[in-house]
Amino acid sequence: MPSFRRILFPVDFSERSRAAAPFVLSMAQRYQAHVVLMHVLQPPMPTYAGMGMIYDEGIDFQGLSADLRAELQKFAESELPKVEITCVAEPGDAASTISEYATNEKIDLIAMPTHGYGTFRRALLGSVTAKVLHDVNVPVWTAAHAPEPSHRAHPKPRHILCAIDLKPESRHTLEFAIELAGDSEATVEVVYAAHEGEVDPSHSERKLQDLLVEAGRTRLVKIEEEPDGSEVQVAVNAGSVAHMVRTVALAKRSDLVVIGRGEVHHIFGRLRANAYSIVREAPCPVLSV
C-alpha cells in the first residue's frame, strides 16, 4: 500500500524533467517524503586502438559530479521548494545506476518521465525508463506526454483509473489504487478490457465484481457516503487494452492510471506486454505497482 517516504527523481534538466516536477512535489508534500534528485553522468564510449580499448582518463568525474550536484540543488530550489532533498550525481549506465540505487537505498517510489523522441516516439518508451520498469521492484511513476499541451493531468490526482486484468496480482493493484485515492481524496474508475473474441464477457464482469468485494467493497460503500471519500466505478469492455485504457482515461479526464506488475521476470520483465502499451498511450501519468 502507498507509503512513499523516499522518492527517487532522476533528473536530466530537460523540459520533461521540469514538467514532472509538480507531480513529484505534490507526492512529496502529501506523504512528507524525502526526495533524492539523481543525475547519472554517462561516461563517453571508449575508442578502439588495435585490439584494445582506450578510455579518456582526462575527464574529471569528481569535479563534474560536484557541479551537477550544485545544478540539482538549484533545480530543487526552483521546482521542489520546502521539500527535504538529497542530490546525487553518479557516473555510469543510467538505468543500472537508478535501479541499483533504488534497491540499495530502499526507495519507495521512482518518478521519471519517458524519453522517446521524434517520429517514432509513440512507438517507444525511452530506453532508460523501459529498463527501469523492467528491473525494479518498487512502484514507478512515469509520463510519456508530460510537457505536451494535451497532457492536462492534475499533480494531485482527482480521478484515478485502475486498469486490471483479473490475474492474481489484480487484487494488490486495485487495493493500491483505492488507498492512493483515499490519500488524494480522488475517485477511482476500474477498467477491465476483455480479450478480443472472449465468449462470455459477463463471466469476466462477475469475476471483477468478486474482486471488488475481496478488495474491500463494503469499506468502499462506507467511504462513498462521506463527502471527501473515494468512489469506485466499473467499466468492462472488449478490445485493445491500451486503446481501452486511453479511451476511458480521456472520457473521464483521469489524472493518473494505476497498473499492476508481474510477480516474476519473464520475456517482458515484471511488466506484461499490455503494460508497456498502456504507459506509451496513456494521456496522463501511469503508476506501475
Instruction: Check residues 126 and 139 and name the one with the higher pLDDT.
Output: 139
Interval 36-61 mean pLDDT: 64
Find the mean pLDDT for residues 257-268.
63
Ordered DSSP codes for 205-240: HHHHHHHHHHTTHHHHHHHHTSTTS--EEEEEEES-
Q: Is the pLDDT of residue 14 over 60?
A: yes
pLDDT of residue 144: 77
pLDDT at site 123: 41
Positive/negative CA dihedral, 15, 20, 26, 28: negative
In this prediction, residue 271 carries a pLDDT of 45
Residues in the chain: 289
How many angstroms separate the CA atoms of 108 and 110, rounded? Answer: 7
Mean per-residue pLDDT, 44-50: 52
- Rounded to an integer, the average pLDDT of 148-169 is 77
Q: What integer pLDDT is reported at residue 58 of this predicted model?
A: 56
Q: What is the mean pLDDT of the chain?
A: 76
Q: Which residue has the higher pLDDT, 201 or 286?
A: 286
pLDDT at 217: 46
Is residue 288 within 8 Å of 177, Cβ to Cβ?
A: no
Confidence of residue 82 (pLDDT cuts 50, 70, 90): very high
> Which of 121-135, 146-160, 203-217 has the weakest average pLDDT?
203-217
| pLDDT tens column, 200-211 | 455 555 666 666
Lowest mean pLDDT: which of 91-105, 120-134, 193-207?
Answer: 193-207
State whether residue 245 is helix, strand or coil: helix
pLDDT at 269: 38
Instruction: Indicate whether 134 pLDDT > 60.
Output: yes
Domains of the chain: 6-142 (3.40.50.620), 159-288 (3.40.50.620)
Q: What is the pLDDT of residue 126?
A: 60
Is-contact 141 286, C-beta < 8 A? Answer: yes
Q: What is the pLDDT of residue 99?
A: 95
Q: Using 50, 70 and 90 to split pLDDT, how confident is the model at 30?
A: very high
Residue 255 has pLDDT above 60, yes or no: yes
Range scoring the smallest mean pLDDT among 116-120, 208-212, 279-283? 116-120
Query: Could you tell me what percent of the chain has a pLDDT over 90?
Result: 33
SS3 content of the chain, % helix, strand, coil (to 5): 40, 20, 40
Q: What is the pLDDT of residues 49-81, one digit of tens each?
A: 454 544 455 566 677 888 999 999 999 999 999
